[in-house]
């Protein structure tokens, strides 16, 4: 199934440069994610919303967990297909707020702030509803997402830079009245500049808990990171786990 109406911000240009040997692809970043998800899956199956190039799905499948995926970007999925084991993972091309795949799963997961790629509150609720529809009774939905950095914004400022290089810059723009935001990338190479902007809707932990409740799930765990460190007032992100009610 393919959703033709949903904007795809992860085209071939993005997919080509998405995988990096360090940063989020470094083993010390990937291994704790896979450890936690494999533990939650147990003997069951896992479904990844926004499976992308297989950063988490491929090592999770290598642990013996049957993994399925949903992703809007054929270019990103093609990159996964080119990697060892990529052809063995079933992927539906479509919008993970609505696309259904057969069967039920022990765990559904959505990592690396991707819930914010869903740019309306209604669609974010739909994401939770779709996750719950794929879960077996007692199954878990796991989301990794940042805590909005609004405390870094003095009055009248809407921009937070997060990368400054010799020929490239990146910054987030926030609209507190609407919870809209965007990540913006400027690059200059060989005397030519380029600009790319990806829209988001940032979301608060308590708001996510209410979305889960609407979908028939309840919060069972919230940590600062995949190592299960405690979530607190100064946490910059969280990994939250909601459980679908038993029938």
* pLDDT tens digit sequence for 94-136: 999 999 999 999 999 999 999 999 999 999 999 999 999 999 9
- What pLDDT is recorded for position 1? 34
pLDDT at 74 over 80: yes
**What mean pLDDT comes out for the span 68-76?**
92
CB 198 within 8 A of CB 182: yes
Write down the pTM of the prediction: 0.88
Segment 21-40 mean pLDDT:
89
Say if CB 97 and CB 130 are below 8 A apart.
yes
- The single-letter DSSP state of residue 31 is H
Tokens of 64: 């013996």
- pLDDT computed for residue 15 by the predictor: 45
Reply yes or no on whether the pLDDT at 12 is more than 60: no
Each residue's pLDDT tens digit, 154-176? 888 899 888 999 899 999 999 99
What was the pLDDT predicted at 7?
66
Mean pLDDT of 216-220: 98
**How far is CA 211 from each of CA 94, 128, 179, 206, 238, rounded to the nearest angstrom?**
21, 6, 16, 9, 16
Task: Write down the mean pLDDT value for the chain.
Answer: 91
CB-count burial class (<10 Å; 0-12, 13-18, 19+) for 24: middle
pLDDT of residue 3: 42
CA 138 – CA 133 distance, rounded (Å):
12
**Mean pLDDT along residues 43-68:** 96
* Whether the predicted pLDDT of 79 surpasses 60: yes
User: In this predicted model, what pLDDT tens digit does every residue of 186-215 receive, in sequence order?
Assistant: 999 888 999 989 899 999 999 999 999 999
**How far apart are the C-alpha atoms of 52 and 218, rounded to whole Å?**
27
Confidence class for position 4, pLDDT limits 50, 70, 90: very low
- Tell whether the model's pLDDT for residue 223 goes beyond 90: yes
pLDDT of res. 136:
98
- Comparing 189 with 47, the larger pLDDT belongs to 47
Q: What percent of the chain has pLDDT over 70?
A: 91
């Amino acid at each position: 199934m393919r959703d033709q109406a949903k904007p795809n911000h992860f085209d071939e240009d993005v997919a080509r440069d998405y995988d990096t040997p360090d940063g989020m692809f470094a083993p010390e970043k990937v291994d704790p994610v896979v450890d936690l998800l494999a533990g939650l899956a147990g003997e069951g199956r896992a479904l990844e919303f926004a499976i992308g190039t297989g950063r988490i799905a491929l090592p999770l499948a290598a642990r013996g967990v049957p993994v399925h995926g949903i992703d809007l970007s054929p270019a990103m999925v093609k990159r996964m297909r080119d990697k060892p084991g990529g052809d063995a993972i079933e992927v539906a091309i479509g919008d993970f707020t609505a696309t259904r795949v057969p069967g039920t799963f022990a765990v559904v997961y959505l990592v690396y702030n991707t819930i914010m790629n869903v740019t309306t509150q209604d669609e974010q609720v739909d994401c939770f509803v779709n996750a719950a529809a794929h879960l077996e009774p007692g199954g878990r939905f796991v989301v990794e997402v940042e805590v909005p950095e609004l405390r870094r914004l003095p009055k009248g400022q809407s921009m937070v830079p997060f990368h400054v290089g010799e020929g490239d810059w990146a910054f987030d723009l926030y609209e507190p009245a609407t919870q809209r935001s965007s990540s913006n990338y400027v690059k200059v190479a060989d005397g030519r500049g380029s600009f790319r902007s990806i829209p988001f809707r940032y979301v608060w932990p308590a708001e996510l808990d209410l979305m889960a409740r609407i979908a028939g799930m309840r919060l069972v765990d919230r940590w600062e990171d995949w190592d299960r460190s405690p979530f607190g007032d100064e946490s910059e992100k969280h990994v939250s786990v909601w459980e679908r009610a038993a029938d």
